[in-house]
Chain A
Amino acid sequence: MANLITTLDPASRAASRGWSDTTIRNVFVIPTVAFLIIFNVFPLLYSLGFSFTDFRASSKAPVNFVGFKNYINVLADPVIWRTFSTTLWYVIVSVTGQFIVGFGLALLLNRPLPFKGLLTTLLMLPMMLSPVVVGLFWKLIYDPSWGILNYALGLGPVAWLSDANLALYAVAITDIWMWSPFVMLLSLAGLSAVPKHLYEAASIDRAGKLYTFFRITLPLVAPILLIAVIFRTMEAFKTFDIAFVMTGQPAAELISSRLYKMAFQQWQTGPSSALAYIILIMVLCITNIYVKYLNKAKER
Protein backbone atom coordinates (compact mmCIF):
# COMPACT_ATOMS: atom_id res chain seq x y z
CA MET A 1 0.00 0.00 0.00
CA ALA A 2 2.84 2.37 0.95
CA ASN A 3 4.55 1.66 -2.41
CA LEU A 4 1.36 2.40 -4.30
CA ILE A 5 0.92 5.81 -2.63
CA THR A 6 4.53 6.83 -3.25
CA THR A 7 4.18 6.05 -6.98
CA LEU A 8 1.11 8.34 -7.38
CA ASP A 9 1.41 11.98 -8.52
CA PRO A 10 1.11 14.70 -5.79
CA ALA A 11 -2.57 15.49 -6.53
CA SER A 12 -3.55 11.83 -6.30
CA ARG A 13 -1.53 11.49 -3.11
CA ALA A 14 -3.46 14.43 -1.60
CA ALA A 15 -6.73 12.83 -2.73
CA SER A 16 -5.73 9.51 -1.19
CA ARG A 17 -5.09 11.31 2.10
CA GLY A 18 -8.60 12.85 1.92
CA TRP A 19 -9.73 16.47 1.90
CA SER A 20 -8.26 19.06 4.20
CA ASP A 21 -10.36 20.47 7.04
CA THR A 22 -10.58 23.82 5.23
CA THR A 23 -11.95 22.18 2.07
CA ILE A 24 -14.49 20.17 4.05
CA ARG A 25 -15.53 23.33 5.88
CA ASN A 26 -15.94 25.29 2.64
CA VAL A 27 -17.68 22.57 0.65
CA PHE A 28 -19.96 20.99 3.26
CA VAL A 29 -20.22 22.92 6.53
CA ILE A 30 -20.64 26.51 5.33
CA PRO A 31 -23.36 25.75 2.70
CA THR A 32 -25.28 23.63 5.22
CA VAL A 33 -25.13 26.28 7.94
CA ALA A 34 -26.11 28.97 5.41
CA PHE A 35 -29.03 26.84 4.21
CA LEU A 36 -30.22 26.28 7.77
CA ILE A 37 -29.97 29.97 8.61
CA ILE A 38 -31.83 31.07 5.46
CA PHE A 39 -34.60 28.46 5.54
CA ASN A 40 -34.96 27.65 9.25
CA VAL A 41 -33.56 30.31 11.58
CA PHE A 42 -34.58 33.38 9.58
CA PRO A 43 -38.27 32.34 9.10
CA LEU A 44 -38.39 31.31 12.76
CA LEU A 45 -37.26 34.76 13.93
CA TYR A 46 -39.33 36.53 11.28
CA SER A 47 -42.52 34.76 12.39
CA LEU A 48 -41.66 35.59 16.01
CA GLY A 49 -41.73 39.25 14.94
CA PHE A 50 -45.10 38.71 13.20
CA SER A 51 -46.59 37.21 16.34
CA PHE A 52 -46.32 40.63 18.02
CA THR A 53 -48.00 42.51 15.14
CA ASP A 54 -51.41 42.74 13.45
CA PHE A 55 -49.84 41.79 10.09
CA ARG A 56 -52.10 40.12 7.52
CA ALA A 57 -50.34 38.51 4.55
CA SER A 58 -53.37 39.25 2.33
CA SER A 59 -53.46 42.97 3.09
CA LYS A 60 -51.22 45.93 2.32
CA ALA A 61 -52.36 47.78 5.44
CA PRO A 62 -49.56 49.19 7.64
CA VAL A 63 -48.29 46.76 10.25
CA ASN A 64 -48.72 47.78 13.90
CA PHE A 65 -46.96 46.43 16.96
CA VAL A 66 -49.60 44.96 19.30
CA GLY A 67 -47.39 43.44 22.02
CA PHE A 68 -48.77 40.26 23.59
CA LYS A 69 -52.32 40.89 22.34
CA ASN A 70 -52.18 38.04 19.80
CA TYR A 71 -51.06 35.56 22.47
CA ILE A 72 -53.79 36.77 24.87
CA ASN A 73 -56.47 36.52 22.15
CA VAL A 74 -55.33 33.08 21.02
CA LEU A 75 -55.41 31.79 24.60
CA ALA A 76 -58.85 33.32 25.17
CA ASP A 77 -60.36 31.77 22.02
CA PRO A 78 -62.72 28.89 23.00
CA VAL A 79 -62.35 27.21 19.58
CA ILE A 80 -58.55 27.04 19.93
CA TRP A 81 -58.91 25.81 23.51
CA ARG A 82 -61.21 22.98 22.37
CA THR A 83 -58.77 22.17 19.55
CA PHE A 84 -55.90 21.81 22.04
CA SER A 85 -57.97 19.40 24.14
CA THR A 86 -58.91 17.41 21.03
CA THR A 87 -55.26 17.26 19.96
CA LEU A 88 -54.13 15.98 23.37
CA TRP A 89 -56.78 13.24 23.29
CA TYR A 90 -55.78 12.35 19.74
CA VAL A 91 -52.09 12.12 20.77
CA ILE A 92 -52.91 9.86 23.72
CA VAL A 93 -55.08 7.51 21.63
CA SER A 94 -52.78 7.48 18.62
CA VAL A 95 -49.42 7.05 20.39
CA THR A 96 -50.80 4.44 22.81
CA GLY A 97 -52.25 2.49 19.88
CA GLN A 98 -49.01 2.70 17.91
CA PHE A 99 -47.03 1.61 20.93
CA ILE A 100 -49.23 -1.43 21.64
CA VAL A 101 -49.52 -2.55 18.01
CA GLY A 102 -45.89 -1.76 17.12
CA PHE A 103 -44.35 -3.42 20.17
CA GLY A 104 -46.71 -6.39 19.84
CA LEU A 105 -45.69 -6.92 16.23
CA ALA A 106 -42.02 -6.64 17.19
CA LEU A 107 -42.46 -9.32 19.88
CA LEU A 108 -44.14 -11.58 17.30
CA LEU A 109 -41.38 -11.02 14.76
CA ASN A 110 -38.57 -11.48 17.28
CA ARG A 111 -38.66 -15.26 16.92
CA PRO A 112 -37.80 -17.71 14.15
CA LEU A 113 -40.51 -17.41 11.50
CA PRO A 114 -40.71 -18.54 7.86
CA PHE A 115 -40.45 -15.57 5.44
CA LYS A 116 -39.60 -13.25 8.33
CA GLY A 117 -37.77 -10.74 6.10
CA LEU A 118 -40.64 -10.57 3.62
CA LEU A 119 -43.16 -10.23 6.44
CA THR A 120 -41.19 -7.38 8.03
CA THR A 121 -40.94 -5.57 4.69
CA LEU A 122 -44.69 -5.96 4.04
CA LEU A 123 -45.52 -4.68 7.52
CA MET A 124 -43.39 -1.60 6.90
CA LEU A 125 -45.21 -0.63 3.70
CA PRO A 126 -47.78 1.76 5.32
CA MET A 127 -44.97 3.86 6.76
CA MET A 128 -43.49 4.37 3.30
CA LEU A 129 -46.68 5.76 1.77
CA SER A 130 -47.49 9.45 1.53
CA PRO A 131 -49.78 10.60 4.40
CA VAL A 132 -52.15 12.26 1.92
CA VAL A 133 -52.44 9.04 -0.07
CA VAL A 134 -53.07 7.11 3.16
CA GLY A 135 -55.74 9.64 4.18
CA LEU A 136 -57.56 9.38 0.86
CA PHE A 137 -57.22 5.60 0.84
CA TRP A 138 -58.76 5.30 4.35
CA LYS A 139 -61.46 7.78 3.42
CA LEU A 140 -62.64 5.23 0.86
CA ILE A 141 -62.39 2.42 3.43
CA TYR A 142 -64.53 4.42 5.88
CA ASP A 143 -67.13 5.41 3.28
CA PRO A 144 -70.60 4.87 4.83
CA SER A 145 -72.25 3.75 1.55
CA TRP A 146 -69.72 1.41 -0.03
CA GLY A 147 -66.67 1.43 2.24
CA ILE A 148 -65.18 -1.98 2.97
CA LEU A 149 -64.92 -1.43 6.75
CA ASN A 150 -68.67 -1.28 7.41
CA TYR A 151 -69.15 -4.25 5.08
CA ALA A 152 -66.41 -6.33 6.74
CA LEU A 153 -67.65 -5.58 10.26
CA GLY A 154 -71.26 -6.15 9.25
CA LEU A 155 -72.24 -2.67 10.40
CA GLY A 156 -74.92 -0.50 8.88
CA PRO A 157 -74.07 2.78 7.15
CA VAL A 158 -71.85 4.13 9.96
CA ALA A 159 -70.51 7.57 8.97
CA TRP A 160 -67.09 7.25 10.58
CA LEU A 161 -65.71 10.54 9.33
CA SER A 162 -68.73 12.78 9.72
CA ASP A 163 -69.89 11.51 13.12
CA ALA A 164 -68.67 13.93 15.82
CA ASN A 165 -68.01 11.05 18.24
CA LEU A 166 -66.19 8.79 15.79
CA ALA A 167 -64.23 11.09 13.47
CA LEU A 168 -61.26 11.61 15.81
CA TYR A 169 -60.93 7.87 16.47
CA ALA A 170 -61.20 7.13 12.75
CA VAL A 171 -58.26 9.48 12.09
CA ALA A 172 -56.34 7.98 15.05
CA ILE A 173 -56.87 4.44 13.68
CA THR A 174 -55.43 5.55 10.34
CA ASP A 175 -52.43 7.10 12.09
CA ILE A 176 -51.94 3.92 14.14
CA TRP A 177 -52.06 1.84 10.93
CA MET A 178 -49.53 4.09 9.26
CA TRP A 179 -47.00 4.57 12.07
CA SER A 180 -47.09 1.33 14.09
CA PRO A 181 -44.41 -0.11 11.75
CA PHE A 182 -42.07 2.69 12.87
CA VAL A 183 -42.46 1.65 16.53
CA MET A 184 -42.15 -1.98 15.42
CA LEU A 185 -38.88 -1.29 13.62
CA LEU A 186 -37.27 0.47 16.59
CA SER A 187 -38.61 -2.15 19.03
CA LEU A 188 -37.27 -4.94 16.83
CA ALA A 189 -33.82 -3.30 16.87
CA GLY A 190 -34.00 -3.10 20.67
CA LEU A 191 -35.24 -6.67 21.08
CA SER A 192 -32.56 -8.15 18.85
CA ALA A 193 -29.90 -6.36 20.94
CA VAL A 194 -30.96 -8.09 24.19
CA PRO A 195 -28.20 -10.63 25.04
CA LYS A 196 -29.45 -14.21 24.65
CA HIS A 197 -27.52 -15.41 27.71
CA LEU A 198 -29.87 -13.41 29.94
CA TYR A 199 -32.82 -15.49 28.72
CA GLU A 200 -30.78 -18.67 29.15
CA ALA A 201 -29.94 -17.67 32.73
CA ALA A 202 -33.59 -16.84 33.39
CA SER A 203 -34.74 -20.22 32.05
CA ILE A 204 -32.14 -22.01 34.22
CA ASP A 205 -33.60 -20.12 37.20
CA ARG A 206 -37.07 -21.28 36.07
CA ALA A 207 -38.29 -17.72 35.58
CA GLY A 208 -41.78 -17.50 34.07
CA LYS A 209 -42.48 -15.85 30.72
CA LEU A 210 -44.13 -12.82 32.29
CA TYR A 211 -41.32 -12.43 34.81
CA THR A 212 -38.71 -12.65 32.01
CA PHE A 213 -40.63 -10.09 29.97
CA PHE A 214 -41.00 -7.55 32.79
CA ARG A 215 -37.55 -8.07 34.35
CA ILE A 216 -35.34 -8.61 31.28
CA THR A 217 -36.99 -7.67 27.99
CA LEU A 218 -38.83 -4.50 28.96
CA PRO A 219 -36.06 -2.80 31.01
CA LEU A 220 -33.49 -3.43 28.26
CA VAL A 221 -35.76 -2.25 25.45
CA ALA A 222 -37.18 0.71 27.43
CA PRO A 223 -34.67 3.38 26.23
CA ILE A 224 -35.31 2.60 22.56
CA LEU A 225 -39.07 2.42 23.15
CA LEU A 226 -38.86 5.82 24.78
CA ILE A 227 -37.15 7.19 21.66
CA ALA A 228 -40.01 5.80 19.54
CA VAL A 229 -42.57 7.38 21.87
CA ILE A 230 -40.72 10.75 21.78
CA PHE A 231 -40.74 10.83 17.99
CA ARG A 232 -44.34 9.71 17.69
CA THR A 233 -45.63 12.11 20.37
CA MET A 234 -43.96 15.09 18.72
CA GLU A 235 -45.21 14.04 15.30
CA ALA A 236 -48.73 13.33 16.61
CA PHE A 237 -48.95 16.85 18.09
CA LYS A 238 -48.08 18.22 14.66
CA THR A 239 -50.39 15.90 12.66
CA PHE A 240 -51.93 17.84 9.82
CA ASP A 241 -52.13 16.02 6.49
CA ILE A 242 -54.06 12.87 7.43
CA ALA A 243 -56.67 14.72 9.52
CA PHE A 244 -57.01 17.54 6.99
CA VAL A 245 -57.55 15.18 4.07
CA MET A 246 -59.89 12.80 5.88
CA THR A 247 -62.40 14.94 7.75
CA GLY A 248 -63.75 18.45 8.07
CA GLN A 249 -65.65 17.51 11.22
CA PRO A 250 -65.08 20.35 13.79
CA ALA A 251 -65.04 17.82 16.65
CA ALA A 252 -61.96 16.20 15.05
CA GLU A 253 -60.12 19.40 14.24
CA LEU A 254 -56.50 19.24 15.37
CA ILE A 255 -54.35 22.21 16.32
CA SER A 256 -52.33 22.13 13.08
CA SER A 257 -55.51 22.22 10.99
CA ARG A 258 -56.73 25.21 13.03
CA LEU A 259 -53.36 26.89 12.51
CA TYR A 260 -53.59 26.29 8.75
CA LYS A 261 -57.12 27.75 8.61
CA MET A 262 -56.06 30.82 10.60
CA ALA A 263 -52.92 31.41 8.56
CA PHE A 264 -53.99 30.56 5.01
CA GLN A 265 -57.80 30.76 4.90
CA GLN A 266 -58.55 33.61 7.29
CA TRP A 267 -55.15 35.30 6.69
CA GLN A 268 -54.66 36.11 10.39
CA THR A 269 -50.87 36.02 10.05
CA GLY A 270 -50.09 37.67 13.41
CA PRO A 271 -52.37 35.51 15.61
CA SER A 272 -51.45 32.35 13.67
CA SER A 273 -47.73 33.07 14.27
CA ALA A 274 -48.53 33.42 17.98
CA LEU A 275 -50.36 30.08 17.91
CA ALA A 276 -47.43 28.48 16.08
CA TYR A 277 -45.08 29.70 18.84
CA ILE A 278 -47.37 28.31 21.55
CA ILE A 279 -47.26 24.91 19.81
CA LEU A 280 -43.46 25.22 19.49
CA ILE A 281 -43.08 25.92 23.22
CA MET A 282 -45.27 22.92 24.03
CA VAL A 283 -43.30 20.60 21.72
CA LEU A 284 -39.99 21.89 23.18
CA CYS A 285 -41.25 21.13 26.70
CA ILE A 286 -42.26 17.59 25.69
CA THR A 287 -38.87 17.02 24.01
CA ASN A 288 -36.94 18.25 27.05
CA ILE A 289 -38.92 16.05 29.43
CA TYR A 290 -38.46 12.97 27.27
CA VAL A 291 -34.73 13.59 26.69
CA LYS A 292 -34.26 14.00 30.45
CA TYR A 293 -35.89 10.63 31.13
CA LEU A 294 -34.08 9.05 28.20
CA ASN A 295 -30.73 10.04 29.73
CA LYS A 296 -31.87 8.63 33.08
CA ALA A 297 -32.84 5.35 31.38
CA LYS A 298 -29.44 5.22 29.64
CA GLU A 299 -27.62 5.75 32.96
CA ARG A 300 -29.45 2.73 34.42
Chain B
Amino acid sequence: MISPQFNQKYFGPASITLMVAGIVFLCQPWVEFLHAWSVLVMLIGLIGFNISVHIPAPEQAVDEDDTGPVSIAQTVGMGGGHD
Protein backbone atom coordinates (compact mmCIF):
# COMPACT_ATOMS: atom_id res chain seq x y z
CA MET B 1 0.00 0.00 0.00
CA ILE B 2 1.40 3.39 -1.02
CA SER B 3 0.91 6.15 1.53
CA PRO B 4 -0.46 9.50 0.25
CA GLN B 5 2.69 11.29 1.47
CA PHE B 6 4.99 8.84 -0.34
CA ASN B 7 2.82 9.11 -3.43
CA GLN B 8 2.92 12.90 -3.47
CA LYS B 9 6.63 13.17 -2.76
CA TYR B 10 8.17 10.26 -4.67
CA PHE B 11 5.81 7.88 -6.47
CA GLY B 12 3.86 10.41 -8.61
CA PRO B 13 6.93 12.42 -9.73
CA ALA B 14 8.86 9.18 -10.41
CA SER B 15 6.04 7.92 -12.66
CA ILE B 16 6.01 11.16 -14.65
CA THR B 17 9.81 11.06 -14.93
CA LEU B 18 9.63 7.50 -16.26
CA MET B 19 7.02 8.46 -18.86
CA VAL B 20 9.10 11.43 -20.06
CA ALA B 21 12.27 9.33 -20.06
CA GLY B 22 10.49 6.60 -22.04
CA ILE B 23 9.40 9.07 -24.74
CA VAL B 24 12.92 10.53 -24.93
CA PHE B 25 14.46 7.02 -25.09
CA LEU B 26 12.05 6.01 -27.86
CA CYS B 27 12.73 9.00 -30.08
CA GLN B 28 16.42 9.73 -29.38
CA PRO B 29 18.62 8.82 -32.36
CA TRP B 30 21.85 7.88 -30.52
CA VAL B 31 21.67 4.86 -28.13
CA GLU B 32 19.96 1.72 -29.45
CA PHE B 33 19.81 0.07 -26.02
CA LEU B 34 17.66 2.92 -24.69
CA HIS B 35 15.38 2.78 -27.73
CA ALA B 36 14.92 -0.98 -27.29
CA TRP B 37 13.82 -0.64 -23.62
CA SER B 38 11.88 2.60 -24.03
CA VAL B 39 8.42 1.01 -24.31
CA LEU B 40 8.89 -0.90 -21.06
CA VAL B 41 10.00 2.30 -19.31
CA MET B 42 6.95 4.19 -20.67
CA LEU B 43 4.61 1.37 -19.69
CA ILE B 44 5.93 1.23 -16.11
CA GLY B 45 5.59 5.02 -15.89
CA LEU B 46 2.08 4.93 -17.33
CA ILE B 47 0.87 2.22 -14.92
CA GLY B 48 2.57 3.98 -12.00
CA PHE B 49 0.96 7.29 -12.97
CA ASN B 50 -2.50 5.73 -13.17
CA ILE B 51 -2.03 4.21 -9.71
CA SER B 52 -0.68 7.51 -8.41
CA VAL B 53 -3.66 9.62 -9.55
CA HIS B 54 -6.07 7.27 -7.76
CA ILE B 55 -4.37 7.73 -4.39
CA PRO B 56 -6.00 10.61 -2.50
CA ALA B 57 -3.84 13.63 -1.66
CA PRO B 58 -2.57 13.81 1.94
CA GLU B 59 -4.77 15.83 4.27
CA GLN B 60 -3.45 19.30 5.05
CA ALA B 61 -2.59 19.93 8.70
CA VAL B 62 -5.23 22.25 10.23
CA ASP B 63 -4.06 25.07 12.48
CA GLU B 64 -6.49 25.09 15.45
CA ASP B 65 -5.74 28.75 16.28
CA ASP B 66 -6.35 29.98 12.73
CA THR B 67 -9.79 31.62 12.58
CA GLY B 68 -9.69 31.92 8.80
CA PRO B 69 -9.84 35.03 6.66
CA VAL B 70 -11.39 38.07 8.28
CA SER B 71 -14.38 39.44 6.39
CA ILE B 72 -15.35 43.06 7.02
CA ALA B 73 -18.84 42.45 5.67
CA GLN B 74 -19.35 39.54 8.08
CA THR B 75 -18.02 41.55 10.99
CA VAL B 76 -20.34 44.44 10.21
CA GLY B 77 -23.27 42.07 9.66
CA MET B 78 -22.67 40.40 13.03
CA GLY B 79 -22.81 43.73 14.75
CA GLY B 80 -19.08 44.03 15.24
CA GLY B 81 -18.83 47.30 13.30
CA HIS B 82 -19.68 50.90 14.15
CA ASP B 83 -23.41 51.64 14.39
Interface residues of A (CB under 8 A from B): 71-72, 75-76, 81-82, 84-85, 87-88, 278, 281-282, 284-286, 288-289, 292
Contacts and interface: CB of A to CB of B under 8 A. Distances in A.
Contacts of A84: 26-27, 35
Contacts of B39: 71, 75, 278, 281
Nearest to A76: B36
Q: Which of B16, B26, B29, B42 lies at the interface centre, i.e. has the most chain A CB atoms within 10 A of its CB?
A: B26
Given A282-B42, A288-B46, A289-B20, A75 B36 contact: yes
Contacts of A286: 23
Interface size class of B (residues with CB under 8 A): 20 to 34
Nearest to B21: A285
Given A278-B39, A292-B16, A284 B46 contact: yes
A289 B35 contact: no
Interface string B24-48: 0011110010011011001101100
Instruction: List the 5 shortest-distance A-B pairs measured between CB atoms, nearest first.
Output: A88-B27, A85-B29, A285-B19, A84-B27, A75-B36
A270 to B, nearest CB: 16
A282 B23 contact: yes
Contacts of B11: none
Label chain B's interface by main secondary structure: helix
Contacts of A88: 27
A116 B16 CA distance: 42
B46 A81 contact: no
Given A75-B35, A75-B36, A278-B39, A288 B29 contact: no
Given A84-B35, A278-B26, A282-B23, 12 more contacts: A75-B36, A82-B29, A87-B27, A282-B22, A282-B26, A285-B19, A285-B22, A285-B46, A286-B23, A288-B16, A288-B50, A289-B20
Given A75-B35, A88-B27, A282-B23, A288 B43 contact: no
A236 B46 CA distance: 21
Given A75-B38, A282-B42, A285-B46, A81 B19 contact: no
A292 B50 CA distance: 11
Contacts of B43: 281
A273 to B, nearest CB: 14
B28 A285 contact: no
